[in-house]
Amino acid sequence: MILVVEEIFGVHEHIKDVCRRLGKLGCMAIAPEVFARLGDISKAPDVQTAMRDFVGKTPDAQEMSDLDATVAWAKGTGKADANRLGITGFCRGGRTVWLYAAHNPNLKAAVAWYGPLAFPVNELHPKNAIDVAADLKAPVLGLYGGTDPGIPVEQVEKLKAALAAAKKPAEIVIYPDTPHGFNADYRPSYRPEAAKDGWNRMLAWFKTYGAA
């Protein structure tokens, strides 16, 4: 089974379509609404409101617990193979992927799409990807855009160095001249070639490490 972690825009049609595409390949893909306690994030009027009223108020620990609960629920249906657990996420969800890979020892593989690497650290969000590099419990594939203003290549290179120093099974791919959100086919940022390559890499990663 594959956990699919939403962008900050909620479990909208793009995220649902990711689940459908994985489902057609034989995976049980589930996208839990991780901000639901605070309302419907898809109705937020702008990114700033979504970040302030939803993302900023949702503790990382709560999100990890909710993802664990999702796995337990799926396992209880008898339709999911929790022994082949994978996770993927986009934008803010990509950050969650790194944290979950350091959280769940039963995870087989993880794929983070352009997840922020310098989210403001505070009591609710104490660590970022580079902070958990040495704690990863599953192989992580990170997919990033070379012209993403919110995730400079310098940050990605620092993460690569931390992963190498920790000797963790991970791979980082940086697509040149590619913006943030390059897999979001409903936005101007969509880049078909990078999106297709990233999708194929994700599927191969899951297969290689036993999550699909």
Q: Which residues contact 28 (CB under 8 A, 6 or more apart)?
A: 1, 2, 74, 79, 80, 81
Maximum alpha-carbon separation in the chain: 44
- According to DSSP, residue 119 is labeled P
Q: In the annotation, is 180 catalytic?
A: yes
Nearest to 92 by CA among 114, 120, 109: 114
Whole-number Å distance between alpha carbons of 58 and 32: 14
Catalytic residue among 14, 103, 125, 180: 180
The residues facing 4 across adjacent strands are 88
d(CA 82, CA 23): 15
Backbone angles phi, psi at 77, to 5 degrees: -75, -20
Active site residue 91: yes
Which of helix, strand or coil describes residue 186? coil
Q: DSSP readout, 78-108?
A: TS--GGG-EEEEETHHHHHHHHHHHH-TT--
Q: Which of 14, 27, 60, 148 is catalytic?
A: 148
Q: Spot the catalytic one: 91, 125, 177, 185.
A: 91
Task: Assess whether 148 carries a catalytic annotation.
Answer: yes
Residue that is written with structure tokens 């956990």 in the block: 3
- The residues pairing with 141 across neighbouring beta strands, listed in sequence order, are 111, 171
- CB–CB of 63/96 below 8 Å? yes
Indicate which residues carry an active-site annotation: 91, 148, 180
